[in-house]
Each structure stands twice: as C-alpha cells, then as structure tokens.
Homo-oligomer: A and B are copies of this chain.
C-alpha cells in the first residue's frame, strides 16, 4: 500500500467541492421545476432537447445520448411524459426497428412555459457567480472529465452544441 496513489491535499479539496456541487445542484434544479412545473430536471431536459431537434423529433437512442441516460432509464421517463401528453413515440420511418420520440404541441407549450423559470434558476446558481474566464475554464475542465466518464462518447456529451 506504500506505493498507492492517494490524492494530494489540493486534489482532495477540489474533489470534495466537486462532490458537494454534484450532490447539491440536482436538488436545486429539481425543487424549482417540481414546484413550478411538476417536472424533474431530467424530464424537463428531455423535453427541452426534443424542442431543439428538427421537427421536434429524435430517435430514442439519440435522445438517450443527448440526455446522458441509459435507454432503459429514458424509456421509463418517456412513458411518464407520454401519459401526460408531452411526447409521442412512434416507429422510425427509416428503420422500423427503431423508435422516434416527438414533442407534442402540448409538450412544446410546456417547454415554453417552463423555460424562463428554469433558466432563471440556472443563471442565479451557475451563470451569475461565474465570469467569462470561469465559464471558459468550466467548459475546458468538464470536457476533460467527460473523456473517462463517457469514453465512447455514447452520451454525445462532447459534441453537443
């Protein structure tokens, strides 16, 4: 164990702060969205990604990638969103074995109504505390962390707009 590589004090301090942000941020996002829109952040993010897609439609595999989710997790959430009338699933015209998810008009209205409150939460908690240099540094560091976290880039975390 003498050769084992423990963290240096600087690394440990940065790591513990990252852990704190990873623990606290989802609760802040979920609380506002649950209170104001009865959506989890993951549900909102799923609807928002469809709202940015051509014809408001993505293959379920592509939607899983863009939301950093496994397909089973996304399918579970898609069932809930479909029951609430926000999305609709249908066979992909180009490949009948694949499934498309499409934002419905009610889903679009939900995103439009929900976005301002959510964006305000993001601005208050993440954007406003940071200056332009911090934003650039955050982008650079998160890009580096996504290499091991998403090694085959299957979640599409490194080529998203």
Copies of this polypeptide in the complex: 2
The contact of A146 among B6, B11, B20, B135, by CB within 8 Å, is: B20
Cα separation A122 to B116 with both chains bound (whole Å): 36
Quick one: given A7-B123, A28-B149, A122-B7, are A20 and B129 in contact (CB under 8 Å)? no
- A73-94 interface mask toward B, CB cutoff 8 Å, 1 = contact, 0 = none? 0000000000000000000000
B16 and A160 contact, CB distance less than 8 A: yes
- Closest Cβ–Cβ distance, residue A25 to chain B (whole Å): 6
A interface list, Cβ under 8 A from B: 1, 4-7, 9-26, 28, 42, 45, 67-69, 116, 119-120, 122-130, 132, 134-150, 155, 157-158, 160-161
